[in-house]
C-alpha cells in the first residue's frame, strides 16, 4: 500500500475518505492488561519510555487488538525537560515530579546540547515501529507543545490551574520567554528527528492551552507552535502536523490561521457543528468522543459514535476522542467503536 | 439613590453606563487579612456561612476597603446539598468532602422538606446586608448551578475532570435526572427566597460546565438553568440573573438563547472581541480579567484592565475577573484595578 492510500494521510491532505480513519489518544496504555504486563517489568517510567523493545511492543498492542488506522509511538511529553537536564521522575499516584525551574538561573542551566543523544531511544522506537506496522497503519510521532511542557517545568508537577507557570509568565516575561525559546528549539529538533526515524504525521499536545488569557495564549501557545511548524516544514515540507490546543474554544480559529497546521484535535466540550462549519474549512478536524462515554459503553456509545460520523460525512475527518483513554475503559468498548467506524 | 441609578442594574438592563460597574468574584475571602481574622473565630466553614453576623461582616469588608459597585453575599454553593440532608464538611487543604450520592437510593433519601428552615440564616444575612450596604451598591445573591453542585454530590469532593458525575449521567441517566430535578427545585426556591430577603441580582455558578460533551451540556446545564430562570421569573419577573457556565466556549451562545439570562460571566480564556461581537447582542457580558494578572500586578495589570475597558466602551458591561480572586492576591492590586475602572 502506498503512502497515499493511507486513510490518515488522505484525511490530513484534505480529502474526504470513504470512512474516517480512527485512532485514540493514549490507545497504548493502562486500560490494556497486556500493557500493564509489560509495564510491570520496569520500575522507572522514563526508563520504560527509553527502552525501544518495550515501547515498540506496547505501541503495537492496540494495533493488533483493535486494528486502528494509526499508531502513536509510546513516549511521554516530559522526555524533553529530561533531555534538557531537568530532574524528572514519575511517582505512583502522584504523576510527574520535576525539580522546578523558577528563575533565570535555572533556565540558563538547561541545555539542548545532549538532546539528540538522550532521545536516541525514541528514534529507535520509531524505526522499529516503521518496520513492524501493517502497511495501512500511519505512524504518528508527537511532542508536548512548549507551553504545556513549561507548566510542568515551572510548577514541578501537574496542577489544575497551571498557576506557577502563568505567574512566572506575568512576573518575569523575559525569563519565561527564554524557557519557551529553548523549548521551541528542542521540540523542533526532536520532531525533525522523529520524521527522519519514520514518523509520517506529528501531533503537538497543548493540553493546558485553555488556562491562558487570550493575549497570553498568543504569546505562549500560538507563536511557539508557529515557530515549530515553520522549523519542521523547512526540513520536511510534506509531513502533516496536528495541533491539539485543548480547551481554547473560539481561539482555535486564530490558532489555525496563524500556525498553519493541517489538523486540529478538538476536546470533548467542542460543539462539532461549530467545528464543522468554522474549523473544517481551515484544517482537518480530529475528535471528540467523550472518553467517559467510552467508559460507560452501551447504546449511548453507539449513538455518540454515529453522531460524529454523520456530522462529518463527506468531509475530511479523523475519528478520535476528546482526551486520552481513561484507565477504567473496558477494552471491548474500544473494539465496539472501532468496528462501528470501520464498518 | 433609586434602584435605577445603580450601575450594575443599569448594565444588566442593557444600558451602556458612563463607566462599567465593578465587582470581583470571591471579593470577600482569604486574600483579605480582616477576613482571615473573622474566619478564625469559627472552626466549621458551614457554621461560619450560617452565622449572619459574621457572614455580613466579611461581605461588607471588601465594600469598605475597595468601594466595589456590587456586593455578593458570603455563602457557599454547597449549602444546598447540606440543606437536602447530605453530609458536607470542609477540610483544611482538601476542600469540601461529602458522603457521595451514587445511586437511586441515595438520591431518594435527599429531601427538600427542611430546605427553607435550614437556609434561613442565609436570608438573615441578605436582610442585614440590604440594610447595611451603601445606597449605590447592588446586592447579589447566588447559587451553584445544578450540574456543578451535582459534581460534588456524586464525586464526594472536587475533581479536575468531574468523572464520577459524568459517568453516573451516562450509566444511570434516570438517577442523575432525579438528582438534577431535585436540585432545580431546591435552587429555584433558594433563589426566590434570596430575592425576598433583599437580593437585587442573582448569579448561577456553573463552574464545571466545561467538562461536559455538547449533548450532555444541553441536558445538565442548559435545561436545568432554563427551568430555574423560569421558576424565579414566574415570582420575581424583574430580577436580573447572570449565568456563569465556565469553560463552554462557543456553547455560550446556545446557553444565552435557551436560558434567557440577562448577564453572562465569561472565564479568563474567553476572547473578548468574540464576546463583544457574539455574546454582547444577547446579554450583558461580565468578566474576564485573569486572576493571576491580578496577583502579578504592575503595569501589565493596568494594560489588561485598559484592554477590557476599551473593548467594551459604549456597551453594557460589568468589569469582573474570569474566575475567583486567588488567596495570594495583594489587596493593593485589587485597589489599583478598582481605581482605574472607576476613574
Chain A / chain B CB contacts < 8 angstroms: 101
Q: Select from B151, B162, B214 the residue whose CB has the most chain A CBs within 10 Å, as the one to mutate to test that interface.
A: B214
From A35, A50, A123, A152, active-site residue: A152
User: What pLDDT does residue A93 have?
Assistant: 86
* pLDDT tier for residue A287 given thresholds of 50, 70 and 90: very high
- For this structure, is A152 an active site residue? yes
Percent helix, strand, coil in chain B, to 5, is 55, 15, 35
Closest partner residue to A272 (CB to CB) among B167, B214, B298 is B214
Residues above pLDDT 70, as percent of chain A? 99
Averaged pLDDT score across all residues of chain A: 97
Average pLDDT of A66-87?
A: 98
Report CA torsion sign: A196, A201, A207, A212: positive
Contact A204, A241 (CB under 8 A): yes
| pTM score | 0.97
Q: Which residues have a Cβ under 8 Å from the Cβ of B40 and sit 6 or more positions away?
A: none
For A305-336, how does the pLDDT look when each residue is reduced to its tens digit (9 = 90+)?
999 999 999 999 999 999 999 999 999 999 99
CATH topology for A3-342 is: TIM Barrel (3.20.20)
Comparing CA positions, the residue from A263, A264, A127 lying closest to residue A193 is A127
Closest partner residue to B250 (CB to CB) among A250, A288, A296 is A250
For B275-329, how does the pLDDT look when each residue is reduced to its tens digit (9 = 90+)?
999 999 999 999 999 999 999 999 999 999 999 999 999 999 999 999 999 999 9
Closest approach of A170 to chain B, Cα-based (Å): 6
Average pLDDT of A206-230?
A: 98
* pLDDT tier for residue A2 given thresholds of 50, 70 and 90: low
From CA B246, how far away is CA B264, in angstroms rounded?
10
Residues above pLDDT 70, as percent of chain B? 99
Asked if the model's pLDDT at residue A160 lies above 60, the reply is yes
For B295, the 3-state DSSP assignment is: helix
For B88-143, how does the pLDDT look when each residue is reduced to its tens digit (9 = 90+)?
999 988 999 999 999 999 999 999 999 999 999 999 999 999 999 999 999 999 99
* pLDDT tier for residue A147 given thresholds of 50, 70 and 90: very high
Asked if the model's pLDDT at residue B226 lies above 70, the reply is yes
For A289, the 3-state DSSP assignment is: strand
Asked if the model's pLDDT at residue A1 lies above 60, the reply is no
Q: Domains of chain A: which residue ranges?
A: 3-342
From CA B242, how far away is CA A184, in angstroms rounded?
41
Residues of A in contact with B322 (CB under 8 A): 213
From CA B314, how far away is CA B326, in angstroms rounded?
30
Are the Cβ atoms of A290 and B210 closer than 8 angstroms? no
Amino acid at each position: 500500500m502506498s503512502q497515499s492510500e493511507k486513510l490518515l494521510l488522505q484525511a490530513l491532505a484534505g480529502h474526504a475518505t470513504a470512512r474516517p480513519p480512527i485512532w485514540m489518544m493514549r490507545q497504548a496504555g493502562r486500560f490494556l492488561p497486556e500493557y500493564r504486563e509489560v509495564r510491570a517489568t520496569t520500575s522507572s517510567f522514563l526508563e520504560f519510555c527509553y527502552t525501544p523493545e518495550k515501547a515498540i511492543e506496547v505501541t503495537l498492542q492496540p494495533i493488533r487488538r483493535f486494528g486502528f488506522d494509526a499508531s502513536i509511538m509510546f513516549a511521554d511529553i516530559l522526555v524533553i525537560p529530561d533531555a534538557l537536564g531537568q530532574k524528572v521522575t514519575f511517582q505512583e499516584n502522584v504523576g510527574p515530579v520535576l525539580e522546578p525551574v523558577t528563575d533565570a538561573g535555572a533556565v540558563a542551566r538547561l541545555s539542548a546540547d545532549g538532546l539528540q543523544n538522550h532521545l536516541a531511544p525514541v528514534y529507535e522506537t520509531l524505526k522499529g515501529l516503521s518496520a513492524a506496522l501493517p502497511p495501512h497503519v500511519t505512524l504518528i510521532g508527537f511532542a508536548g507543545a512548549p507551553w504545556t511542557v513549561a507548566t510542568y517545568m515551572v510548577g514541578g508537577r501537574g496542577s489544575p490551574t497551571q498557576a506557577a507557570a502563568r505567574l512566572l509568565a506575568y512576573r518575569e516575561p523575559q525569563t519565561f520567554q527564554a524557557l519557551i525559546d529553548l523549548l521551541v528549539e528542542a521540540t523542533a529538533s526532536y520532531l525533525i528527528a522523529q520524521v527522519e526515524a519514520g514518523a509520517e504525521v506529528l501531533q503537538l499536545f497543548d493540553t493546558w492551552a485553555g488556562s491562558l488569557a487570550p493575549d497570553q495564549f498568543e504569546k505562549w501557545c500560538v507563536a511557539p507552535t508557529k515557530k515549530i511548524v515553520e522549523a519542521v516544514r523547512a526540513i520536511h515540507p510534506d509531513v502533516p502536523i496536528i495541533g491539539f490546543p485543548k480547551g481554547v474554544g473560539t481561539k482555535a480559529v486564530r490558532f489555525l490561521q496563524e500556525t498553519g497546521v493541517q489538523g486540529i484535535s478538538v476536546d470533548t466540550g467542542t460543539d462539532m457543528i461549530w467545528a464543522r462549519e468554522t474549523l473544517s474549512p481551515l484544517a482537518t478536524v480530529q475528535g471528540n468522543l467523550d472518553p467517559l462515554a467510552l467508559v460507560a459503553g452501551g447504546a449511548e456509545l453507539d449513538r455518540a459514535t454515529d453522531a460524529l460520523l454523520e456530522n462529518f460525512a463527506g468531509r475530511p475527518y479523523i475519528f478520535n476522542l476528546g482526551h486520552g483513554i481513561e484507565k477504567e475503559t473496558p477494552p471491548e468498548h474500544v473494539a465496539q467503536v472501532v468496528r462501528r467506524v470501520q464498518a
